[in-house]
Amino acid sequence: MNLEAFFKMSYGIYLITSKRGGELSGYIANTAFQVTSEPPKIAISCHKNNISTHIIEESGVFNLSVLEKDTDAGLIGLFGYQSGHEDEKFERVDYKLGNNGAPVILSHSIAYFECKVVDKFDVGSHYLFIGEVTDGELLAREKDPLTYSYFRNEMKLMAPERAPTYVDKNKLKKFQDENQQEEQNKVEVSEANKKDLGDKYICTICAFVYDPEVGDEAMGIPPGTPFEDLPEDYTCPICAAAKSMFISDN
Ligand code: FE
């Protein structure tokens, strides 16, 4: 089985939200798709162990914001990788309450849909919720949506562990070691050219790559800073993991 075959499936990137009483929830998802047009229905796949899943189950509603291509990685980090109080996350973004009472994220959103859950299927690790669209709006006609391939190939991010499309990093690495010697060689050549600044380091939580040539503008680290010289309280700009959670890509 070639795990990389899965990387050729295409998806969008969405922010799915819900609300139970006064409790707001939101998370980044790529597995959402329209399943019927009359009436319009959207399916989403949610991990059974996620709080958001229980909130959607109990409230019977969810909203889905379509993120723009130029979405700030910080927004994806906030709702995709960082744990913490959901209310604090919502304080850091623009949102409104939809007609179904659940929040609708407006930051970096180009369209949204409000949905009422009409079906739920147990698919093993995840539930597949079917939501009938009860409302929706186009927010930015001229902007393109963020796609999963752009998220993975250009933003260099990986699906978190509970995402339906998660690929085990160890299994993938084993596969790549066995089958992609050419890729390895390219990496070695580029590393040889950058030896003076030391290795790139990869966040083991979200796969963010710290490149000493580039530095980390979001965290105030100038270009040309070797990983070893980063302050001890440096954290991943995407998922807030500690410096100790990074490994050399060498
Ligand atoms: Fe990270």
At 233, which CATH number? 2.20.28.10
Helix (H, G, I), strand (E, B), or coil: what is residue 89? helix
CATH number of the domain encompassing residue 96: 2.30.110.10
In tens digits, what is the pLDDT along the chain, a chain of 250 residues? Answer: 888 898 899 999 999 999 999 999 999 999 999 999 999 999 999 999 999 999 999 999 999 999 999 998 889 989 988 776 888 899 999 999 999 999 999 999 999 999 999 999 999 999 999 999 999 999 999 999 999 989 888 887 777 778 888 877 777 777 777 777 777 776 665 656 555 788 999 988 888 899 999 999 888 999 999 999 999 999 998 888 899 989 998 8
Residue ending a domain, among 170, 193, 216, is 170
User: What is the 237 CA–ligand 1 centroid distance (Å)?
Assistant: 7
Q: How far is the CA of 142 from the centre of ligand 1 (A)?
A: 31
DSSP 93: S
Q: Residue 52 is which amino acid?
A: S
pLDDT at 114: 98
222 CA to centre of ligand 1 in angstroms: 19
Assess if residue 196 is contained within a domain: no
At residue 206, the pLDDT reads: 86
pLDDT at 197: 85
Q: Is residue 77 part of a domain?
A: yes
pLDDT at 3: 85
3-state secondary structure at position 185? helix
> Can you list the alpha helix ranges (DSSP code H) found in the chain?
51-59, 73-80, 86-91, 148-153, 169-179, 181-193
Q: How far is the CA of 120 from the centre of ligand 1 (A)?
A: 32
Question: 3-class SS at 104?
Answer: strand
Distance 41 CA to ligand 1 centre (A): 34
pLDDT of 107 reads 96
Domain span holding position 99: 3-170
Location of structure tokens 């969405």: 14
Do 213 and 163 sit in the same domain of this protein?
Answer: no
For the sheet containing 14-20, what is the strand order? 23-29, 14-20, 61-67, 109-122, 126-138, 40-47, 32-37
Q: d(Cα 89, Cα 83) in Å, to the nearest integer?
A: 10
158 C-alpha to center of ligand 1: Å?
10
165 C-alpha to ligand 1 centroid (Å) = 18
Q: Output the CA 124–ligand 1 centroid distance in Å.
A: 27
Domain's final residue, options 122, 149, 170: 170
Separation of CA 83 and ligand 1 centre (Å)? 12
- Give how many domains the chain has, as a whole number: 2
